[in-house]
Amino acid sequence: MEPTKVLQELESLAASLSVEVRYDDLEGPGGLCRYGGRMRLIVNRALSVADRVRVIGRALARLPLDDVFVRPQIRELLEGHATGEGQEPV
């Protein structure tokens, strides 16, 4: 799967988990936070698509995904991040 498609899938998954993804100017890569009672994932807008996939994948891998449909390739990527393997987009 192309990295841009993987990124779109991850952004859609985040939305289905009620996680707002925002791209902003940051010094670091970004990460997941809770603000005003809502989960937000802030990502450095200067990152490449592959780096955005890594940041979002690591963040979403920390969330419970048992009750959410996740495409097999995306689930594999997230499980890799959860176990520390940090697989690249397929």
Q: Which residues pair with 23 in a beta bridge?
A: 43
How many CB atoms sit inside 10 A of residue 11's CB? 17
Q: Check pLDDT > 80 for residue 21.
A: yes
pTM: predicted TM-score of the whole model, two decimal places:
0.86
pLDDT tens-place string over residues 41-75: 999 999 999 999 999 999 999 999 988 999 999 99
With 0-12 / 13-18 / 19 or more C-beta atoms within 10 angstroms meaning exposed / middle / buried, residue 36 is exposed
What three-state secondary structure class fits 39?
A: strand
**Gap between the Cα atoms of 56 and 42, Å rounded:** 9
pLDDT at 87: 47
